[in-house]
Structure 1
Amino acid sequence: MIQFAVLMGFVLAALSPMLNGWFGQRTSLVLALFPAGLAAWLVLQAPEVIENGSLLLEWQWVPSLGISLTFLLDGLSLLFGLLITVMGACVLVYAGGYLKDHPDLARFHIALVAFMVSMLGLVLADGLLTLFVFGN
Structure 2
Amino acid sequence: MGTRFMATKESGAAPELKQMLVDSSSTDLRYTGDIAGVPANWLVPSMRMLGLDPENLPAPKGPMRHDHLPEHVKPWKTFWSAGQGVDLVDDVPTVAELVRRLRQEYVDACVTQDMADAARLVEQVSDHPVR
The TM-score normalised by the length of structure 1 is: 0.24
Structure showing greater Rg: 2
Query: Quick one: higher RCO (CA 8 Å, sep 6+), 1 or 2?
Result: 1
- Larger helix percent: 1
- Larger strand percent: 1
The TM-score normalised by the length of structure 2 is: 0.25
